Structure 1
Amino acid sequence: MNKSPLFLLLVTCLFSGCGAYFNQPVGVQKAAFGENTPATASLAEIPKPKEQIVVGVYKFKDQTGQYKATELGSTFSTAVTQGATSILIKALEDSKWFIPIERENLGNLLNERNIIRSTRQEYAAKTEPNEAVLTPLLFAGVLLEGGIISYDTNIITGGFGARYFGAGGSVKYRQDRVTVYLRLVSTSNGKILNTVYVSKTILSQSVDASLFRYVNLNRLLEVETGFTRNEPIQLAVTEAIEKAVEGLIVDGIKDNIWEVNAPKKQVDTFIEQYDKEKDEANLAQLYNRHLDEKRARFGLELTGGATYMQGDYANPVAKPMGRGALKFFFTPAFDISASTNVFTLGNKNKLDVGYTTLDINLEFLILPQDTFTPYVFGGTGVGFNKDVENVHSKVQFGAGVEYLATNHLGVKLYGEYNLNFTDNIDYVEQGVRDDYYWRFGLGLTYYFPKSYKYNKK
């Protein structure tokens, strides 16, 4: 028995799993300062205020009521952090816009102040006559309320795996989502000045590989490796809260709730970037879908593929095909496609003939505002051979998928059924059924830059 291929496979499996082991924590690690999130940097870039705002946060609670799930059910450990108030206060400090005051444990603060007063009164004779009195507490101009209102698990799950002859591997992923609401309340009249809603996805990934093989009659080889990576929920909650604080600040600038100590041009540029991000978020849907106009009105398509004849001869064979088309979208979902198709039809040892067809189709994109969409089409056309003979009319219909690799370039794969109103496509008229053929294509569509949008009612 030749064991060289098996040995190479074993070595490959071992080294493919080394990446996980090389990054394993194999010793005691020192304490480290907490990681920043992308939203932390955004907070630092906000133009600073003319005067900081005193803000009170009594409680920013976990309102989901969820407990952490396990394979055997659930535990008494909560699914999300119970320390969101501390995270929010840290975000307020990082922004340099607010002066947070202690309100979550106000009772402890008041007790301590009472101890100070009683101690001074009890030992008043031993104190200096000009000793300063206890300074008054700051009061908040605004309050921040809200909380973590949802933690949705398994909003997307999936993976891929393969196994052959005892060797294989798999990749799995899962996506959760946490959502926070934050509102700004005026203490002078109780009016809610603004409310911000922010969501953050949480990704978990798992990769594993294994080998199970009898190397001989009495020797069994079994190898397993893999790793799992989970995005920390606490960091996701932190990023969502920091993003909510940023939204409150910018909306307050736009509504003239507070003033900015920065040049007007800098403030206008910052607000413009925020509005652009907000507009994109308003178009976004669940599963990273963005409902905006992806394709321009005009497109140019080039496709290559194969045809498959179904006529009076047996043993059809695949033959090459080329296609060029112009497309015009009169709505985001519907377009008219005019195409020229050059192709060959053939049967083994019987038929090998070239044709040209001029087709016009009505196409319908099922998900016109998505990057990836299936579509269906149907239309009519006329065909003829290279000598412009054997002219015939036909109808065609089919379906396919298109993926936008860039804003102007789409990749499409489709299949098309062509029904001809003649039985002479293969130059043999036999039976009562007309000849037909299939066309399968893979191609590119270039969408010209958009100069205007579709008319919307």
Structure 2
Amino acid sequence: MKTHSLIKLAFLTVTIFSLHNCTLFNLPNGSEKSTLGENTYYSPKIRNLPPPKDKIIVGVYKFRDQTGQYKAAENGASWSTAIPQGTTTILLKALEDSHWFTPIERENIGNLMNERQIIRSTRKEYAGNDANESSSLPPLLFAGLLLEGGVISYDTNVMTGGIGARYFGLGAGAQYRQDRITVYLRAVSTSTGEILKTVYTSKTILSTSVNGNFFRFIDTERLLESDIGVTQNEPVQLAVTEAIEKAVLSLIIEGVKDNIWANKQKNPFDFNKIIDDYSSEEKINDSRIIGNKFPDQDRGKMSVFAYAEGFKIKDDYVNAKMNIGGKLGFKYFFNDYLNAEVNVNAVTFENEGIFKKNVLMSELNLECLLLPKYKLSPFIYAGAGMFPLSNKTLYKAQIGGGLEYLVSQNLGLRAVSQYDLGFTDDWDNLINGKRKDMGVRIGLGINYYFGSKKTKN
């Protein structure tokens, strides 16, 4: 059997097996039964709050989508709204789950009044002499508070990004997109009309896509191609529910802090812990921006770093080889963006079978961190360096850049690349032509921050 026939048979076997067993890739392969609705992060928090001193009767007439936003469509216009239209129902469920409020029906008060009138008319018609007594109904509850507000913003493509690579027909990539919704909720006293408290929450909506593909010519007439990918979109309904539940939780906590209402004093320390956690979140939120996970002062005034680097010389010989070396250094930050760096690093100059030399270099760089308030930030730097070689000192310049990701308040992971620009042509002890010797390096490492900055008020 020919080679391409064997490849074709193997490819068809794998394809049929993959399509038959979609669960291999966590893909649905049939209909699913109905389930209870999913919980959000704040669902158990509002359910497990300490009980109130007295439940508050609250009415919600309208808590709706105020954005006017429609779903984005690639082709033509879409008349489907981006925000669910049942946000009043979501709010009433959150109020009920909290056990701090007694929600009463006000959104469809007309239906309720009509039904009560039907009950009175029916009882009066068939009660005979006892018509007046039997036709009476218990009085409706009236609300001490009205809750107003709504979903006031839906911002698309707040943050987008991706990464991908392709090599000889084999490729893979990943993309993400963040949208953002904003909710405002206010409590209004029905006796005075005073706005007692207003809270505001927001929630990001994440969409991710991962894909891979492969194609290659088996021979001049046959092309083998394969694709696989998974896309996941966070449901907008769950994001709206979480933002509303967070708003209800914030309203309860801030109301207790301002003595608008009170919890039952079985164990006051239970609620004190909740208030302390909420106050800590407020302090962090004071200096937060969109996409930011750390306040300004979290990156320290100084840092030490260590990299593992691969270095490859670009000289007059052929067969240059990349070898692994290392770099140790210290940074001092003038401000959030700019720092000075000094380091020592060990590299190896090698042309396979021709020349090899271990070299110890020292460098001085000026670095700019482009997005210091974000967890993931690109950086660029430039500077000069020197190293001893063959009983003399050689000088060079370097430029570089990369990405830093903060895994904690003090620790950052770095991916870096650098280009070394030589001033002479004798790094390999050979002067040949006008071209100067140079070097290329790529590396991975850690950056540890210490020393606090002055906090800006």
TM-score range, shorter chain: 0.7 to 0.9
Q: Which among 180, 193, 198 is matched to residue 196 of structure 2?
A: 193
Aligned positions of 1:344-383 closer than 5 A: 344-346=348-350, 351-383=355-387
Give the direction of change, closer, same or farther, for the CA distance of 1:157–1:328 in structure 2 (3 Å limit).
closer
1:141 correspondence with 2:144: yes
1:266 correspondence with 2:267: no
8 Å CA contact 1:10–1:211 kept in 2: the answer is no
Q: Which among 166, 169, 184 is matched to residue 181 of structure 1?
A: 184
1:241 correspondence with 2:244: yes
Report the TM-score, using the length of structure 1 for normalisation: 0.81
Q: Which amino acid aligns with 1:377?
A: Y
Match of 2:12 in 1: 10
Q: Which among 279, 284, 299 is matched to residue 295 of structure 1?
A: 299
Match of 1:42 in 2: 45
CA distance in 2 between partners of 1:344 and 1:164 (Å): 28
**DSSP 3-state at the match of 1:7:** helix
1:324 correspondence with 2:325: no
1:202 correspondence with 2:205: yes
8 Å CA contact 1:372–1:402 kept in 2: the answer is yes
Give the direction of change, closer, same or farther, for the CA distance of 1:381–1:75 in structure 2 (3 Å limit).
closer
Query: How far is 1:260 from its partner?
Result: 1.2
Report the TM-score, using the length of structure 2 for normalisation: 0.81
Match of 2:402 in 1: 400
Match of 1:391 in 2: 393
Q: Which amino acid aligns with 2:452?
A: Y
Residues 314-355 of structure 1: per-residue CA shift (max 9 Å, x gap): 547245443221233343333332212233335577654443
Give the direction of change, closer, same or farther, for the CA distance of 1:418–1:226 in structure 2 (3 Å limit).
closer
Aligned positions of 1:57-456 closer than 5 A: 57-117=60-120, 126-127=129-130, 133-155=136-158, 174-204=177-207, 229-262=232-265, 263-287=267-291, 290-309=294-313, 313-315=316-318, 317-318=320-321, 320=323, 321-346=325-350, 351-385=355-389, 389-407=391-409, 408-420=411-423, 425-427=427-429, 435-447=436-448, 450=450, 452-454=452-454, 456=456
Give the direction of change, closer, same or farther, for the CA distance of 1:355–1:81 in structure 2 (3 Å limit).
closer
Residues 257-295 of structure 1: per-residue CA shift (max 9 Å, x gap): 111124232212111222333444454443465454453
8 Å CA contact 1:309–1:316 kept in 2: the answer is no
8 Å CA contact 1:299–1:445 kept in 2: the answer is no
**DSSP 3-state at the match of 2:249:** helix
Q: Which amino acid aligns with 1:374?
A: P
Residues 334-385 of structure 1: per-residue CA shift (max 9 Å, x gap): 3332212233335577654443333332322112222222222233444213
Query: How far is 1:256 from its partner?
Result: 1.5
Query: How far is 1:88 from its partner?
Result: 1.0
CA distance in 1 between partners of 2:417 and 2:92 (Å): 55
Query: How far is 1:196 from its partner?
Result: 2.2
CA distance in 2 between partners of 1:10 and 1:160 (Å): 30
Q: Which amino acid aligns with 1:5?
A: I
CA distance in 2 between partners of 1:119 and 1:74 (Å): 50
CA distance in 2 between partners of 1:160 and 1:383 (Å): 36
Q: Which amino acid aligns with 2:366?
A: L
Q: After superposing the two structures, state which structure 1 stretch, 84-93 or 69-78, moved more.
A: 69-78
CA distance in 2 between partners of 1:429 and 1:274 (Å): 68
**DSSP 3-state at the match of 1:375:** strand
- Give unpaired runs (5+ residues) of structure 2: none
CA distance in 1 between partners of 2:309 and 2:171 (Å): 33
Query: How far is 1:307 from its partner?
Result: 4.0
8 Å CA contact 1:405–1:411 kept in 2: the answer is no
**DSSP 3-state at the match of 1:189:** coil
Give the direction of change, closer, same or farther, for the CA distance of 1:135–1:144 in structure 2 (3 Å limit).
same
Query: How far is 1:185 from its partner?
Result: 1.5
Query: How far is 1:154 from its partner?
Result: 4.6
Residues 81-114 of structure 1: per-residue CA shift (max 9 Å, x gap): 2221111111100000101112112222233344
**DSSP 3-state at the match of 2:97:** helix
CA distance in 2 between partners of 1:198 and 1:45 (Å): 20
8 Å CA contact 1:194–1:248 kept in 2: the answer is yes
Query: How far is 1:136 from its partner?
Result: 2.8
Structure 1 vs Structure 2 CA RMSD: 4.0
Query: How far is 1:61 from its partner?
Result: 1.4
CA distance in 1 between partners of 2:103 and 2:302 (Å): 55
Q: After superposing the two structures, state which structure 1 stretch, 343-352 or 333-342, moved more.
A: 343-352
CA distance in 2 between partners of 1:218 and 1:314 (Å): 41
CA distance in 2 between partners of 1:432 and 1:454 (Å): 51
Q: After superposing the two structures, state which structure 1 stretch, 205-214 or 406-415, moved more.
A: 205-214
Give the direction of change, closer, same or farther, for the CA distance of 1:215–1:418 in structure 2 (3 Å limit).
closer
Give the direction of change, closer, same or farther, for the CA distance of 1:186–1:302 in structure 2 (3 Å limit).
same
CA distance in 2 between partners of 1:54 and 1:345 (Å): 79
Q: Which amino acid aligns with 1:7?
A: L
Q: After superposing the two structures, state which structure 1 stretch, 181-190 or 195-204, moved more.
A: 195-204
**DSSP 3-state at the match of 1:78:** coil
CA distance in 2 between partners of 1:425 and 1:218 (Å): 49
